[in-house]
Amino acid sequence: MANQTLFLGIDCGTQGTKAIVLDSVSGKVLGQGAAVHSMISGANGRREQDTDQWLGALMLSTRRALQDANVSGQDILGIGVSSQQHGLVLLGDEGQVLRPAKLWCDTESTPENDRLLAHLGGERGSLERLGVVIAPGYTVSKLLWTKEQHPEVFAEIATILLPHDYLNYWLTGRRCTEYGDASGTGYFNVRSREWDVSLLNHIDPGGRLVAALPQLIEARTPAGTLLPEIAVLLDLNPNALVSSGGGDNMMGAIGTGNIQPGAITMSLGSSGTVYAYDEQPHVSPDASVATFCSSSGGWLPLICTMNLTNATGVIRELLELDIERFNALVAEAPIGAEGVCMLPFLNGERVPALPHATGSLLGLTMTNLTQANLCRAVVEGTTFGLRYGLDLLRNNGLQSRSIRLIGGGSKSPMWRQMVADVMNTPVVCTEQSEAAALGAAIQAAWCESGVTGTGQSLLELCERCVSLDPASETLPVAASVAAYQQVYERYQQHVATL
């Protein structure tokens, strides 16, 4: 085991938890493990999870990753935790979880968000004050919702945590958070990197919420070491450091090497995200661009679409197609799907900003309503949403020399080519598709080197541990770029009518 320096990266997402074991000396991922979660859903937009599921999945995925790597947990020097952003975990005096966690995709608190946004002076007021425009998915409206819908729970709040903060708390016993994930709460100022205390006091003048805030720590600062009983439970080195961790987008940025200007990361997951690195908080005047802090010391301007592989999945289920047959049908149809256009806003939409929109199919005729055109239209429609977002980032002055593609959709060569053509930018995948778990492990190595004084920079670690997959490199094709541009303009006209 000599000259191996092992770190564990954990990513707790909406659908499950992934764990990887990284050797930071060779830069290789030695093993991986996964475990699934289920969701509590309601017709009113409720999307919640039982936090005990996260703990069970963390234990199981860690055990599987260590087995897959064929290494001892006693050799793990550090652990990094990534998790879905914006979720609300409330703890009582004894550290007990008071109710299921409300998630990023929960829209039940939309009326509360509307009232808080009005209090801030609308989108412009929110941008000026916080540097972001609060959206229904953000944590802040979930607090007001809890106060109004569950006053008995609200009265017991002793600590407010985000999902990754809660996992760090379970591992270390420390209640802290890091600037990147804090950026998505809606009660944090991304320019000054401080909590907006007066907004929380507006929700609860008694000061309960302000007293319940976790401590803010820098990205390279450890959250702590493992609690002795947790080290035994997970069979891990009791001296393993737990890094600050962060939100899945911040960790995905590290895991794709997106820690300096020029690269753009695009994730084709259930939802779609596009983000880039910036050294300064250049807050966009466009409400759809979230200028979050990064978990590497800078800023991470980001756009998020609510409908991506969740929308393509609905069409696949409707037509009873497996993924291979679905991709084959998409490839059969021409660019533009013979005039069939799908606005895939099945979850409402954040980019373009249409929270109350529903999905629609346009341009249907007796001859073009085919399975192939339907399949192609949903993939084109979701990809155009990402183009819309990328254009917003470009308008904000961000360069996009290349796109690093991650997420389930990136495994499809057909989709990679579509992204390259629609964005008119070269596309490449990272070899490790679990970018957030990898980013968490890299951050843990960076954190550990800061504590031990070995002084490795984050850039050195990313250069060693993030490798691009040359076989996936996809260049735009001029004729297709021109054809997609016409179809994209048609999509924009349809969006404008909404």
**Each residue's pLDDT tens digit, 419-462:** 999 999 999 999 998 999 999 999 999 999 999 998 899 999 99
Q: Model confidence at 1, in pLDDT bands (50, 70, 90)?
A: very low
Q: Which CATH architecture has domain 257-429+468-498?
A: 2-Layer Sandwich (3.30)
Q: Model confidence at 350, in pLDDT bands (50, 70, 90)?
A: confident
Q: How far is it, in rounded angstroms, from Cα 52 to Cα 127?
A: 36
pTM: 0.94
Q: How far is it, in rounded angstroms, from Cα 269 to Cα 247?
A: 15
Buried b (16+ CB within 10 A) or exposed e, 457-486: ebeebbebbbeeeeebebebeeebeeebee
Number of Cβ within a 10 Å radius of residue 70: 9
Q: What is the pLDDT of residues 193-205, one digit of tens each?
A: 999 999 999 999 9
Mean pLDDT of 63-67: 98
| Phi and psi angles of residue 224, each rounded to the nearest 5 degrees, phi first | 155, -165
Mean pLDDT of 385-408: 92
In this chain, the answer to whether the domains covering 6-248 and 257-429+468-498 adopt an identical fold is: yes
Number of Cβ within a 10 Å radius of residue 87: 31
Q: Give yes or no for residue 89 having a pLDDT over 90.
A: yes
Q: What is the pLDDT of residues 9-19, one digit of tens each?
A: 999 999 999 99
43: exposed, middle or buried (C-beta count within 10 Å: 0-12, 13-18, 19+)? exposed
Mean pLDDT of 373-398: 95
Q: Model confidence at 4, in pLDDT bands (50, 70, 90)?
A: confident
Q: Give yes or no for residue 2 having a pLDDT over 60.
A: no
Q: How far is it, in rounded angstroms, from Cα 283 to Cα 292?
A: 9
β partners of residue 17 = 12, 35
Q: Is 248 assigned a catalytic role?
A: yes
User: What is the per-residue pLDDT for 204?
Assistant: 97
Average pLDDT, the chain: 96
Q: Give yes or no for residue 477 having a pLDDT over 90.
A: yes
Q: Model confidence at 43, in pLDDT bands (50, 70, 90)?
A: confident
**Alpha-carbon distances of 221 from 277, 297, 299, 485, rounded to whole Å:** 20, 11, 17, 46
Q: Is 322 helix (H, G, I), strand (E, B) or coil?
A: coil
Q: How far is it, in rounded angstroms, from Cα 392 to Cα 301?
A: 10
Residue 97 DSSP code: B
Number of Cβ within a 10 Å radius of residue 232: 11
Q: How far is it, in rounded angstroms, from Cα 445 to Cα 461?
A: 8
Handedness of CA 323, 328, 329, 331 (dihedral sign): positive
Q: Model confidence at 3, in pLDDT bands (50, 70, 90)?
A: low
> Which residues have C-beta within 8 Å of that of residue 111, sequence separation ≥ 6?
none
Among 141-155, 227-241, 297-311, the least confident range? 297-311
User: What is the per-residue pLDDT for 398?
Assistant: 86
Q: Model confidence at 348, in pLDDT bands (50, 70, 90)?
A: confident
CA trace torsion 166, 172, 177, 179 (10° rounding): -130
Q: How far is it, in rounded angstroms, from Cα 327 to Cα 379?
A: 10
Q: What is the pLDDT of residues 214-268, one digit of tens each?
A: 999 999 999 999 999 999 999 999 999 999 999 999 999 999 999 998 889 999 9
Q: What is the pLDDT of residues 174-192, one digit of tens each?
A: 999 999 999 999 999 999 9
Q: Give yes or no for residue 357 having a pLDDT over 70.
A: yes
Report yes or no: 89 and 162 within 8 Å, Cβ to Cβ: yes
Annotated catalytic residue within 165, 196, 248, 286 = 248
Q: How far is it, in rounded angstroms, from Cα 189 to Cα 209?
A: 16
Length of the chain measured in residues:
498
Q: Which CATH architecture has domain 6-248?
A: 2-Layer Sandwich (3.30)
Q: Where are the domains of the chain?
A: 6-248, 257-429+468-498
Helix 323-332 crosses helix 309-319 at what angle (to 10 degrees)? 100
